[in-house]
Amino acid sequence: MHTIYLDHAATTALDARVLDAMIPYLTTEYGNASSIYTLGRHAMQAIDGAREEVAEILGCRPTEVTFTGCGSESDNLAIKGIAFASQKKGNHLVTSPIEHHAVLHTCQYLERFGFKTTYVPVDSYGRLDPDDIGRALTDQTALVSIMYANNEVGTIEPVAEIGRICRARKIPFHVDAVQAGGSLPIDVAELNADLLSLSAHKFYGPKGVGILYARQGVRLLPQVQGGSQERGKRAGTENVAGIVGAATALRLAYEDLPRVMPRVSALRDRLIAGVLSIAGSQLTGHPTERLPNNASFVFEGVEGESILLSLDLLGVAASTGSACTSGSVDPSHVLLAMHLPVELAHGSLRLTLGKDNTDEDVDTILAALPGIIEKLRQLR
Ligand code: PLP
């Protein structure tokens, strides 16, 4: 059965052009980048080239780019790295309740070491008011960490404005751009970001490669101890093929953006309009300030997981956005922070499009979903 993949927020397929760029470093060019002979130097040259490629897209210096093992590690390095480096100056962190767990659980971890976190609330669209961030800042604030776009509901946050407020107070600002990377402009100067996290598998690159931009002068305490790779910011033999793949994928995503995104957002808009014609459905996230590929909903009187299973039988891969913990399905922390009633939050469905989805894919969903919802409601 042909799979209709509508879970690009979870991960994406590796682009064939990215695989081509990676293959030499998985086969003949297998040297360790720390070795001084030719094979090792080739590996180091490949990493240097990848770093320059990423820096060009982010509008920063190559020395400000660190490769990590995933988006979660980039978030951890940014938050713990800053927090532990500046603990003597201040022990206060500012974030939002709709962040990814890579950020939320890192802040909770730091609370065990004496840090205090302010979670600035969002509105019913999941959007922050930059002035609320400004009001949360104190003389003790060591870091503000806010996502560029939400992974569940797709809402885009006013990060440039938040960054401007932080910069005026000389407080480092970290942007979790893991969902936005490959879809929205990511010039770090325009975003007023001091730190920015990306993850290659979200933009048709390999899994297991993260990127962290850290502005020169921002002091980060490394979180992986060992060798002096990545200019001492992250020990461990470099994943050369992965790094080359991440940089190639990022470049291709931004080269393709003007062609791909208008098409993807048109599919999204058709999907949203069609799904909202189902009685008892509601769009989640901001109506306009949302990722071009994200269509997310809640349905009255239905469990999101049941919708997923019904769609899976048709070969459709989708998500609810809620986390499955120890057998019980908790409603999403994002939807609850947006003040959705718990009952409704249980009926969530997230459809995230990608560059290879077609009009026929949208037709299939729009033909199947009303019947699925109706049947599930009758079963309750
Ligand atoms: N931050 C956001 C907003 C995400 O959506 C994700 C992954 O879904 C991550 C961080 C973690 O990225 P990774 O899966 O590469 O660890």
Check whether 326 has a pLDDT greater than 70. Answer: no
Which pLDDT value is given to residue 59? Answer: 98
Q: How far is the CA of 75 from the centre of ligand 1 (A)?
A: 9
Cα–Cα distances in Å, from 64 out to 52, 180, 334?
10, 20, 31
Other beta carbons less than 10 A from residue 380's beta carbon: 8
As a dihedral over the C-alpha atoms of residue 153, residue 154, residue 160, residue 162, rounded to 10 degrees, the angle is 10
Test site for ligand 1: of 7, 12, 72, 156, most ligand atoms within 8 A of the Cβ: 72
Token reading at 318: 């989708």
Identify the band that residue 88 occupies on the pLDDT scale cut at 50, 70 and 90: confident
Token reading at 117: 């976190």
pLDDT digits (tens, 9 = 90+) for 248-284: 999 999 999 999 999 999 999 999 999 999 999 999 9
pTM above 0.85, yes or no: yes
Amino acid at site 117:
T
**Is 13 within 8 Å of 200 (Cβ atoms)?**
no
Q: Rounded distance, CA 133 to CA 204, Å? A: 33
Phi, psi (degrees; rounded to nearest 5) at 283: -75, 140
Which pLDDT value is given to residue 329? Answer: 72
**Is 213 within 8 Å of 65 (Cβ atoms)?**
yes
Q: Whole-number mean pLDDT of the chain?
A: 97
Q: Rounded distance, CA 326 to CA 86, Å? A: 36
Which pLDDT value is given to residue 323? Answer: 63
Q: How far is the CA of 378 from the centre of ligand 1 (A)?
A: 36
Test site for ligand 1: of 202, 250, 333, most ligand atoms within 8 A of the Cβ: 202
Q: Rounded distance, CA 162 to CA 129, Å? A: 9
Q: Rounded distance, CA 359 to CA 271, Å? A: 10
Q: Rounded distance, CA 243 to CA 248, Å? A: 9
Token reading at 180: 């936005």
Q: Rounded distance, CA 136 to CA 120, Å? A: 7
Q: Rounded distance, CA 298 to CA 278, Å? A: 11
Q: What is the average per-residue pLDDT within 221-234?
A: 97
Which pLDDT value is given to residue 321? Answer: 82
Q: Would you give the end-to-end CA distance of the chain in angstroms?
A: 29
Residues of the chain above pLDDT 70, percent: 98
Which pLDDT value is given to residue 89? Answer: 87
pLDDT digits (tens, 9 = 90+) for 164-204: 999 999 999 999 999 999 999 999 999 999 999 999 999 99
Q: How far is the CA of 237 from the centre of ligand 1 (A)?
A: 23
Other beta carbons less than 10 A from residue 273's beta carbon: 12
The kind and range of the H/E element at 147 are strand 141-147
Residues of the chain above pLDDT 90, percent: 95
Check whether 328 has a pLDDT greater than 70. Answer: no
Q: ∠ CA 136-139-144 to the nearest 5 degrees? A: 50
Which residues are paired to 281 by β-bridges?
299
Please indicate whether residue 157, judged by its CB atom, sits closer than 6 Å to ligand 1: no
